[in-house]
Amino acid sequence: MTIVDARALGRRYGTTWALRDCDLTIPESHLVALVGPNGAGKTTLLNMIVGLTTPTTGRLTVLDGIPAGSPAALDDIAFVAQDMPLYRHLSVADTLHLTRNLNHRFDDAFASARLRDLGITDKQKAGKLSGGQQAQLALTLALARHPRLLVLDEPTARLDPLARHDFMATVMAAMAEDGVSVLLSSHVLAELERVADHLVLIARGLVRLDGPVDDLTARHRVVTGPVGQPFPGGWTAIGSTQAGVQQHLLVRVDSAVDPQPPGWEARTVGVEELAMAYLRDATTLPHLAAVEAVR
């Protein structure tokens, strides 16, 4: 089953395209990292997936063919935004009561038990909770709906390292226990390298990378060789640096060539290094619309 399927998807605001020509097929039961610089189109994509906005062009379905934004889709998708949209003056008990009445499905016993385990009491005001507690409250409200897809838009951006670790531990436990699929947008690449098994990278409104992390890293290398020495035709250079008489290239292996020909040294690449190379490359491409996503 696919949790997101997009074909030629685009969203325009006035004359500006926030996202265009987006083709994605994201399988279920994965933690999908959505990466890109500010203004790349990540939030636009997430807003279309959860039904907060509609496409200008193309087609978008979720949860194995359900139109995004339809009532059937909304019942099975939970969304936690970066600003943790909680009513600050409501107590925790009133927050649970309100959420229960706004949703067709809400596991009140699960939510209450989980908040007790976290030391969050019914009488506390949402606005008086710490940043980490507010994040856990918002996540609990989402998980108590027992969604099939959990969409997280920079949920840990304002959290300290301990609160961020606890938040992600809860997400990973929900995946293991409930089988929920997760789509996570984040700038914390080191964190994503630890938890994500599928990567989508967007730059300047276009998808540059999309695929399982293991497949993407297996198709790339960091290679080192003398400055000026040509590299094999089966490689595509994504980024390069120079140190003295040596050049260091991050390359995509496009054919079944030996990844380490004479005169070159090669090593594997991690998610953070891979993402940074594509993000830097995107800033130098004058005609990014012509660049195809790597799948």
CATH number for domain 2-213, candidates 3.40.50.2000, 2.170.150.70, 1.10.10.1800, 3.40.50.300? 3.40.50.300
The rounded distance, in Å, linking the Cα atoms of 268 and 261 is 15
* pLDDT value of position 242: 79
**CB 128 within 8 Å of CB 89:** no
- How many CB atoms are located within 10 Å of the residue 52 CB? 14
Task: Spell out the domain ranges in the chain.
Answer: 2-213, 218-290
Instruction: Name the DSSP class of 11.
Output: E
pTM: 0.86
pLDDT along the chain (295 residues), means of 10: 93 92 91 90 93 95 94 93 85 95 93 94 94 93 95 88 90 92 89 89 88 92 82 79 83 72 82 89 45 41
The rounded distance, in Å, linking the Cα atoms of 147 and 144 is 8
Bridge partners, 10 (sequence order):
57
Half-sphere exposure of 92 (CA within 13 A, CB side): 23
Q: Which of 33, 60, 55 is nearest to 44 (CA)?
A: 55
DSSP string for residues in 216-253: HHHTEEEEEEETT----TTEEEEEEEEETTEEEEEEEE
* pLDDT value of position 234: 77
Length of the chain: 295
Instruction: Report residue 165 as tokens.
Output: 């670790």
* pLDDT value of position 291: 35
